[in-house]
Structure 1
Amino acid sequence: MLKEFKTFIMRGNVLDLAIAVIIGAAFGKIVTSLTDDVLMPIIGKLFGGLDFSSYFWRMGSVPAGYAGSLSDYAALKKAGVPLLGYGAFATQLVNFVIVAFIIFMLLRVVNRAAAMLEREKATVAVAPAPEPVEIALLREIRDELKKR
């Protein structure tokens, strides 16, 4: 069983997938930081506030024992108040659009490179295969017979 597991793990596509997941997780953190720390404050500033994730609608009443701020999304959510957090959703939507755009650009580059490679393959003239020795010998014999 251990040998089968080792064979499974050592297959190229499993290792490629593991590497892709690790790189994807790191890339996701970079995109999250870009969105949360750079883009969303700019978008939030355009909409009148610096913290876009604090945009929400309360959908229910606040518990009687709640002593925190009524504008603190995280605290209200922790207290169990039903909230519609459209600011947090917009942040995740921007994250998705950034990742989707980058994947689109990568695929575009790969597709263009593949097309260029195909064009190069088509233009390269294939050298004819060398003539087999038997055919050359038969040709020489024919030519000699024609001379006689």
Structure 2
Amino acid sequence: MLKEFKNFILTGNVIDFAVAVIMAGAVGLVVNGFVNDIVMPVVGHFAGGVDFANLKVILTEGVGVEGAEGYVAENAIRWGAWINTIVNLLIVGFVMFLIVKAYNKSKPAPEPEAPAGPTQEELLAEIRDALKK
């Protein structure tokens, strides 16, 4: 059982998958930084100086100081953070579209299929007709 597991883990597909997951995490951090630090400030500037990350609807105000006795945390719907997430999704989708498009262009064109020959029934009919003659 341990030997089978070792063979499974050391196959190329599992290692490729692990590398892909690690790279996806790194790309996710880069995209988050791009959205939060570059795109959203520009969008906020053109939206009248609004910082989307801080937009929220407060359901329950926070009471007291964090760590003190009787502290109650604020309860809010953070819809601005959700907008940041949507922008993040759109950027990741667009980048993935560009990557797939470039990959498809780099692949060689598929070879045209050879013309299909006669079917087995057609060959048998030809043999039958030749035998009749």
- TM-score, normalised to structure 1, is 0.64
Which residue does the alignment assign to 1:53? 53
Matched with 2:105 is 112
Unaligned runs of 5+ in 2: 113-133
Which has a greater percent of helix? 1
2:18 maps to what in 1? 18
Cα distance in 1 between the residues matched to 2:63 and 2:26: 42
Tell me by how many angstroms 1:66 deviates.
5.3
Deviation of the 1:111 alpha carbon:
2.6
Q: Secondary structure of the equivalent of 1:59?
A: strand
Aligned-residue CA RMSD (Å): 2.4
Q: CA contact under 8 A between 1:31 and 1:95: conserved in structure 2?
A: yes
Number of aligned positions between the proteins: 109
CA contact (8 A) 1:42 1:50 kept: no
* Identity within the alignment, %: 34
Partner of 2:92: 99
Which structure 1 residue ranges, 5 or more long, are not aligned? 68-77, 123-148
Match of 2:37 in 1: 37
1:58, 1:81 within 8 Å by CA — same for their partners in 2? yes
Residue type of the alignment partner of 2:84: T
**Contact 1:44–1:50 (Cα < 8 Å) also in 2:** yes
- TM-score, length of structure 2 as denominator length: 0.70
Q: Deviations over 1:7-60 (max 9, x none)?
A: 011112111110100111110111011001100111111223353201111123
Q: Deviations over 1:101-147 (max 9, x none)?
A: 11111222223333x421xx34xxxxxxxxxxxxxxxxxxxxxxxxx
